[in-house]
Amino acid sequence: MPLLEVNDVHTYYGNIHALKGISLTVEQGEIVTLIGGNGAGKSTTLKTISGLLQPRQGSVYFDGEDLRNYKPHELVSKGLALVPEGRGIFSSLTVSENLDMGAYYRKDQRGIAQDMDHFFTLFPRLKERRQQVAGTLSGGEQQMLATARALMSRPRLLLMDEPSMGLAPILVESIFDKISEINQQGTTILLVEQNANVALAIAHRGYVLQTGEIVLADDAESLRHNQMVRQAYLGEI
């Protein structure tokens, strides 16, 4: 049984039909990526899975359980966490306070302290800035913080929405190295990313979205060599 199963999901913004029958799966331990152009429905898919949007039709199952009756904050305790597009950090709080907020529903103080130390090891820049106000961090540091904050909830599935947005190329490489490392440490990841090159380089499988529909699904290596993907998303002619 897949860890995540999305079946024939239709999601609307008012009268705008944003997702037109999306179906996908994510298996335990995978990195699965959704690629596509602006307006393809990638972020809408993550918002639907995480409960921020309710589908008019279709179902979302996490570990065999229908998620439609849960509110977004309740899904965190189920083991699902979102790193939103634009990072969404608490800009007036310190780095440490942001990480504490990521663990807001947990009661194991020793485990919280151990996880915070672990993420300070994974992201040394955050350790250096642990008492710094988060809004004064660089874009790359804010992305690290948003990721670490989500991981503080100990998710089984991490949803990541455009982690490379607005970052310099050298920082993009660093962030995606960390995403691979997080996956290797046991966290399953569903990754939305407009930079198809870097996404397919670390993913196991991928789906290509166009105007709210999945038009292609395959393992990542096959997608990297697919002529349509190469021309439309990898910048080749």
pLDDT at 23 over 70: yes
Q: Within 13 A of 19's CA, how many CA atoms are on the CB side?
A: 26
Query: Which amino acid is it at 13?
Result: Y
The whole-number pLDDT of residue 12 equals: 97
Instruction: Give this prediction's pTM.
Output: 0.92
**Residue at 145 is within a domain:** no
**Residue entry with tokens 């570990």:** 63
**Residue at 84 is within a domain:** yes
Q: Which run of H or of E encompasses 205?
A: strand 205-210
Question: What CA–CA distances, in Å, run from 88 to 29, 94, 124, 203?
Answer: 26, 14, 21, 24
Whole-number Å distance between alpha carbons of 38 and 69: 30
pLDDT at 172 over 90: no
The whole-number pLDDT of residue 236 equals: 61
**Residue at 16 is within a domain:** yes
Question: In total, how many domains does the chain have?
Answer: 1
Residue 11, domain extent: 4-90+155-232
Query: What CATH number is attached to the domain comprising 16?
Result: 3.40.50.300
pLDDT at 234 over 80: no
**Residue at 121 is within a domain:** no
**Residue at 14 is within a domain:** yes
Question: pLDDT tier at 213 (50, 70, 90 boundaries)?
Answer: very high
**Residue at 9 is within a domain:** yes
The whole-number pLDDT of residue 161 equals: 92
**Residue at 211 is within a domain:** yes
pLDDT at 210 over 70: yes
Backbone angles phi, psi at 99, to 5 degrees: -65, -40
**Residue at 137 is within a domain:** no
